[in-house]
């Protein structure tokens, strides 16, 4: 949907944002707007004179837990989608590269 908009770096004021950063910003802002809208809807439908009903409170807790799970899934998804093989984060076998000095320090610590 946003591919045409995100195909080139965006220019906001005097700042130039990379495509990956724009995707991260759009996804994060969309997730927060979704959560706030859901919380507002719960407040409208389950609100009483001095706050929320018990059922509304339970739904609100569910929305907060769902938001945490949603952002976790979005973070993992973005990590896979936005990972470029040219970054050098993986070797030819597809395994993450490790620092040989860190391995030596770990062996020495034991």
For residue 92, the model assigns a pLDDT of 57
Reported confidence tier of residue 37, pLDDT bands at 50, 70, 90:
very high
pLDDT given for residue 107 in this prediction: 57
- pLDDT range class, residue 62, cuts 50, 70, 90: very high
Backbone angles phi and psi of 24, in degrees to 5: -60, -45
Q: 106 versus 64: which is more confidently predicted? A: 64
What whole-number percentage of the chain has pLDDT above 90? Answer: 41
Beta-strand relationship, 15-17 and 51-52: unpaired
Q: Is the pLDDT of residue 66 over 70?
A: yes
* pLDDT interval class at 79 (50, 70, 90): confident
Residues 1, 73: Cα–Cα separation, whole Å: 20
Contact 53, 43 (CB under 8 A): no
Residues 60, 39: contact at Cβ < 8 Å? Answer: yes
Alpha-carbon distance of 56 to 47, in angstroms, equals 7
| b/e 75-105 (16+ beta carbons within 10 angstroms → b) | eeeeeeeeeeeeeeeeeeeeeeeeeeeeeee
Tell me what percent of the residues of the chain surpass a pLDDT of 70.
63
What pTM did the predictor assign? 0.60
pLDDT number for residue 94: 56
Contacts of 57 by beta carbon, 8 Å cutoff, 6+ apart:
none
Average pLDDT over residues 48-57: 89
């Amino acid at each position: 949907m946003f591919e045409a908009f995100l195909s080139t770096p965006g220019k906001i004021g005097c700042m130039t944002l990379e495509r990956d950063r724009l995707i991260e910003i759009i996804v994060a802002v969309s997730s927060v707007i979704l959560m706030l809208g859901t919380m507002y809807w719960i407040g409208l439908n389950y609100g009483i004179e001095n706050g929320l009903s018990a059922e509304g409170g339970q739904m609100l807790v569910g929305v907060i837990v769902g938001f945490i799970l949603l952002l976790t899934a979005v973070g993992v998804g973005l990590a896979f989608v936005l990972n470029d093989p040219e970054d050098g984060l993986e070797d030819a076998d597809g395994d993450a590269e490790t620092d040989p000095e860190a391995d030596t320090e770990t062996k020495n610590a034991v």
